[in-house]
Chain A
Amino acid sequence: MEILDSIFLNTKKIFLDLLGCWLPDWMILLVNIGIIIGVIAVLGPVIMMYLTLLERKIIGRMQNRIGPNRVGIFGILQPIADGIKMFTKEDIIPQNADKIVHFLAPVLMVIPALLAFAVLPFGRGMIPVNLNVGLLFFIAVSSTSTICVFMASWASRNKFSILGGMRSAAQMISYEIPMVLSVVPVILSAESLSTYAIVEAQARWSGLHWFVFTPWGLLAFIIFFLCGVAECNRSPFDLPEAESEIVAGFHTEYSGMKFALFYMAEYMNTFTVSALAATLFLGGWEGPVLPSWLWFFIKTHALIFVMFWFRGTLPRFRVDQLMGLAWKLFLPLTLINIFVAGGYHLISDRNFRVAGASAVLLVSFLLFTVFLNRKYMPEKRRYDLVD
């Protein structure tokens, strides 16, 4: 187990030791950084490729279809065929488009998606950069993708694009807040912003002391995950690219490889958000028996499966429903959750605190849902001065 656990770390170490025979120390340092960057740069597109295949397979099964299975066994070469197709397609730029921004948007879109990989703890000791503000970094970087979406929509000079961009901005504002607030209890409990430290805080009970097993953790996990789904523009929150309403939203005017870049960013976001949710609430790479990096990938893929599952099941939200969910349910719940988590840490009696926290959260949830479910009828207006 120990060998498997650190197999990647040891491989890198042996490689660097070998290089150390010829190269000076500072070069080794550079090579080390180069390896990490290389791994991420390769991992991103590869993840995107097999996630598209996985999604098509899973959704196919949910709709009693088989899914792609022609290119290679089980269709494993399908993403490559798609990639070739994307490369050979014509790259169309609308005549009135803002050429520079139109070109920059898809390129910039991929950068935050790749940067977010930097703070993910893939396994024991396998974190690209152990930032002490890793969580903050992730949230800051991943929310910048909205700027790229808006750039794309603005530069295309297309009314559907601009509608998609507007929706994306509105969605980002309403989802970023509950998302950030929902991780506060985790920070509170782990007493750190570093993703690595957060994972290590869940190491007790032979790696099963996950935050999701506490009442506040469960609620925060659900809210964080749903906001994450909204953040990477996936169904049922895919309003910025709603096909049935606004053609393709912000990427209406994109074709060929630029379109593929948007796709790539979306799938890499899917992976990073799921990975972060697994890190924060499901114990990251902690877990019994299996090697740490395997645990990490299992948990991440379980969450990705749930995302695909959502997409196979739920219809798209209306804009006002989406806003209502974020502002009227998630935001107050996360605020209450922070206080509950604080109280939970103050009380030492285990049974009492679990019961108390669950009760408070359940009551507030019911209260808010009743609140939310109220029929809202705008009052009739009379304009006396008109006649």
Chain B
Amino acid sequence: MFFGLGVLRGLMVTLKNFVTSYFMPPDRGGLFTVEYPEKRLPVIERFRNFPFLVYDKDPENPRCVACEICANECPTKCIYIEKDTDPNKKPLRRPAIFDIDITVCMNCGICEEVCPFDSIYMDHPFEVASSDRLEKLLFHKNDLLKSNDYFHKIRPTHAAAIDARRRAVEEKKKSAAVKPSETGQPPKAQNGGKP
């Protein structure tokens, strides 16, 4: 109605913001900023950052069987896997080299989706910045391997569900393995019947 009244109203809005920013909580006009390196918000459970590998008890025997499905599915092709071999050059079901170039990884989580052995999951830490691109930002197997307990710590719900499923599968396998022995037939050996 009046000329200049809108300007005054606008000025009042900013003045209110200015005053309330000193003593009000964020939802009532205070500051939203968390001063990051000193204070930090808790990382929520479903937060997903670069992948890591889970091992159950022994880091020498991770869940990963080096099937390379994740390496093939990864859209940016940032996973590099080499199978481990025994002294006779026979391939083993575990990786010798498992590298993820996290300068290339785009955190899509496809590796987590496709892994049939519940081995690779998305991690929580996000402060991975480094001045050494070639060494520090190329994660090797030892950097990637983390225990199942750690997985439980960062994502309890997800980890519990995975564990329950794995246990169920294991039970089934056991009962399937027991049944044939009850009928008197020898169980089929895991490695294709070879000695």
Contacts and interface: CB of A to CB of B under 8 A. Distances in A.
Nearest to B21: A61
B3 A64 contact: no
A66 B22 CA distance: 10
Contacts of B7: 313-314
Contacts of A96: none
B24 to A, nearest CB: 10
A330 B47 CA distance: 58
A314 B33 CA distance: 24
A61 B32 CA distance: 11
B151 to A, nearest CB: 36
Interface in A160-194: none
Interface string A318-357: 0000000000000000000000000000000000000000
Interface in B1-45: 2-4, 7, 10-11, 13-15, 17-18, 21-22, 29-33, 35
Contact of B22 (A61, A63, A310): A61
Interface string B121-144: 000000000000000000000000
Interface residues of B, number: 19
A105 B21 CA distance: 40
A137 interface: no
Contact of B14 (A65, A66, A313, A369): A313
Nearest to A306: B11
A313 B7 CA distance: 9
A66 B33 contact: yes
Contacts of B4: 369
Nearest to B3: A369
A13 to B, nearest CB: 42
B35 A66 contact: yes
B14 A62 contact: yes
B10 to A, nearest CB: 5
A64 B21 contact: yes
Contact of B13 (A66, A313, A372): A313
B17 A62 contact: yes
Given A64-B30, A369-B3, A309 B17 contact: no
Contacts of A313: 7, 10-11, 13-14
A65 B33 CA distance: 6
A387 to B, nearest CB: 44
Nearest to A58: B18
Interface string B27-70: 00111110100000000000000000000000000000000000
Nearest to A372: B3
Contact of B17 (A61, A369, A373): A61
A160 B181 CA distance: 88
Contacts of B11: 309-310, 313-314
A309 B14 contact: yes
A312 interface: yes
Contacts of A310: 11
Contacts of B10: 313-314
A312 B16 CA distance: 12
Nearest to A63: B17
A371 to B, nearest CB: 10
A64 B18 CA distance: 7
A218 to B, nearest CB: 14
A202 to B, nearest CB: 27
Contacts of A66: 31, 33, 35
A66 B15 CA distance: 15
Contacts of B33: 64-66
B44 to A, nearest CB: 23
Interface in A358-384: 369, 372-373
26 contacts: A61-B17, A61-B18, A61-B21, A62-B15, A62-B17, A62-B18, A64-B29, A64-B31, A64-B32, A64-B33, A65-B31, A65-B33, A66-B35, A309-B11, A309-B14, A309-B15, A310-B11, A312-B18, A313-B10, A313-B11, A314-B7, A314-B10, A369-B2, A369-B4, A372-B3, A373-B3
Q: 6 tightest CB-CB pairs across the interface, nearest first?
A: A369-B3, A313-B14, A62-B14, A61-B21, A62-B18, A61-B18
